[in-house]
Amino acid sequence: MLSGLIVSLLAQGYTAKDAAINGSLALALASQKFDKPNYYLLPTDIIDLLAEIA
């Protein structure tokens, strides 16, 4: 999941450092908002949460 976020930011023109920082920050913020049992976190859950924090 993290690598996909970083690559998508790189494709949008971010520098490697900025893509890594912003990608990991976005994933961390989205994961904090996850309110279901944490033993089955799916990529689709993260995508929905990313839309909420954007």
- Token pair belonging to 51: 């839309």
**pLDDT tens digits for 13-53?**
999 999 999 999 999 998 888 887 767 778 888 888 888 88
Contact criterion met (CB below 8 Å) for 6 and 23 = yes
Write down the pTM of the prediction: 0.79
pLDDT value at residue 22: 96
| 23/10 Cα distance (integer angstroms) | 10
**CB burial of residue 30 (10 Å; 0-12, 13-18, 19+):** buried
| 11/19 Cα distance (integer angstroms) | 9
